[in-house]
Amino acid sequence: DPSGLSLLASRTAAEAHRLLAEALRGGHGEHAVAPEPTPAQDAVRLAAGDVGPDVLDRLGDGSGRTREALAAAVRAWRLGGGAALSVLEEEWAVEGDTLARARAALESAWEEDERPSLLARANRWTVVGAPHQLRLDRQG
């Protein structure tokens, strides 16, 4: 499949460039190394490139995502890479100090009379009556 091979080559070159730029940036040793993406996460990374509908369908099938789920995952990837994709897809229980810090941040984010009602579930806070949600990643 020539178009698939071309996509892989161009995305691999772009990723190599990103990794090299990151390695040469000051303070590189102070940041945690991101884990290798799973095949499903890598499919989203590839889909976030400029690909045609046939390739998108194959990446969706290969990653176990519907077109809608792949589109949402691609939007997350474009906003924040693997970290944003994890926030989109992973639901986990927030406890202890992390929960206290999250609640304090939410309390201070709005003036008392402007604060919306939030419905909390796991690492997600949804604005009641609106299509808005805040999600907490595992780094807090």
Looking at residue 8, its pLDDT comes to 82
Do 77 and 107 share a domain, yes or no?
A: no
Residue 140 is assigned to a structural domain of this protein:
no
Place of tokens 């939007």: 75
The domain of 108 spans: 96-135
Looking at residue 131, its pLDDT comes to 94
Residue 52 is assigned to a structural domain of this protein:
yes
Looking at residue 43, its pLDDT comes to 94
Q: What is the tally of structural domains in the chain?
A: 2
Do 12 and 63 share a domain, yes or no?
A: yes
Do 41 and 68 share a domain, yes or no?
A: yes
Do 124 and 85 share a domain, yes or no?
A: no
The chain-wide mean pLDDT, for the chain, equals 90
The CA distances from residue 35 to 3, 39, 41, 88, 119, in Å, are 28, 12, 11, 17, 32
Residues of the chain by 3-state class (helix, strand, coil), percent to 5: 60, 10, 35
Looking at residue 59, its pLDDT comes to 93
Do 9 and 64 share a domain, yes or no?
A: yes
Residues 2-34 have pLDDT tens digits of 877 887 888 888 888 988 888 888 776 776 777
Place of tokens 């303070």: 27
Query: Residue 66: is its pLDDT beyond 90?
Result: yes
Do 67 and 118 share a domain, yes or no?
A: no
